[in-house]
Amino acid sequence: MTALWWSWGISALLIVALGVWAGRAATGQFAGILIDTRGRYSLTRLQISLWTVVVVSLLVGVLVGRATVAGVDPLGFSIPDTLLAALGISLASGLGSITIKAYKNRSRADYVAASPPAAETARPAGDVAVGLGPRLAQLVLVEEGQDADVKVDITKFQNLLFTMFLIGAYVVVTVQAFRGKGPPPAINGPADIATLPDFNATFITLLLISHGAYLIGKLPNRGGQEIAREAVPPDAGRPRYSVSDRVAEHAARRESDCAIARTPAEERLAADSGRLAVEATRVPAPGDAKSGNGAASPDEVHRRLTLLEAEVGQIVEMVNAGPRSAGDETPGVGSGTDGAARSHK
């Protein structure tokens, strides 16, 4: 049985280490695997992670333990229906929770609490978003309306307690059974393990009720139109930081990253292209060729667009040619074409 105990413990540690690495790589947090798309710690992710660590590591332990016995099929054991039911309830509850969250993210983004994208990694001291980042207390806190991250959600709290109790109880029952102190037939070695320890059906019912209450508790809307009165400020009922704020910050960061990634030549190209595009279609000054309604005539627009294409082409050639020395100027760019453009104005 020594090989079983060691392989069970080591595999559990490896799974946890892999989860820590994945979460750290994705969010910068050691427990980042528990952070959902809102940037908050998720009870659903915690439950699925705990069941995964316990059951998968146990399967590895029994497999390795049986593999050390000659003439025994390492996979010649079964998983009881009650354990499969517990896993199924946990996964089904997780999928239901994700579905509800996705719907509310789209329909009630202003009233659903979130954490800033940058708060998932280190932020400088004094940053306005400090205090809004993910924290473990969010596992049991309200996640909508003005009470978000302020009050405890009792359905989440009881679901966390029941989950921790059942997972802990199953580990205790398993250890007792593998030490030969469980119900008959007694287990004296890995070869005697024909099935993993069973769950009492009553506890499966308890788990089902707990997850049902947890999902039902997510359905009601908190904050928003139900408190919108003339005497109430427009932001009443909103959390300190919402999904809408998170989406806006994501967009701002993407634009900032794109701007930083541009080279000076690319910045000039973008600026000159925008300027020339505006000049090409603007209404000409008095005395210029006009159409009947006062806008630029088709011939005038065509002439200006032709000049635009010529200058943009020269700028692109300059960018593709690479950096030049300080005294090396490209003839024609910014002079000849601009002069031609000014001569037609």
Please check whether residue 148 is in contact with residue 239, taking contact to mean a CB–CB distance below 8 angstroms.
yes
211-232 pLDDT, tens digit each = 999 999 898 888 765 544 555 5
Distances (CA, A) of 271 to 41, 268, 274, 310: 43, 5, 5, 16
Do 63 and 195 have their domain in common?
yes
Do 197 and 300 have their domain in common?
no
Do 18 and 155 have their domain in common?
yes
For the chain, what is the domain count? 2
Does the structure show a pLDDT above 80 at 60? Answer: yes
Q: Which two tokens stand for residue 147?
A: 């009470």
Does the structure show a pLDDT above 60 at 287? Answer: no
In a domain, 95, yes or no: yes
Lowest mean pLDDT among 18-27, 148-157, 280-289: 280-289
State residue 59's pLDDT score: 95
In a domain, 116, yes or no: yes
Lowest mean pLDDT among 228-237, 274-283, 318-327: 274-283
Which of 204, 227, 250 terminates a domain? The answer is: 227
In a domain, 241, yes or no: no
Which of 206, 227, 248 terminates a domain? The answer is: 227
In a domain, 243, yes or no: no
Do 340 and 192 have their domain in common?
no
Does the structure show a pLDDT above 60 at 168? Answer: yes
Do 150 and 19 have their domain in common?
yes
| Domain, as residue range, for 110 | 2-227
Do 58 and 197 have their domain in common?
yes
Does the structure show a pLDDT above 70 at 151? Answer: yes
State residue 277's pLDDT score: 52
Mean pLDDT of the chain: 78
Residue 142 burial by CB count (10 A; 0-12/13-18/19+): exposed, middle or buried? buried
In a domain, 235, yes or no: no
| pTM score | 0.68
Do 148 and 283 have their domain in common?
no
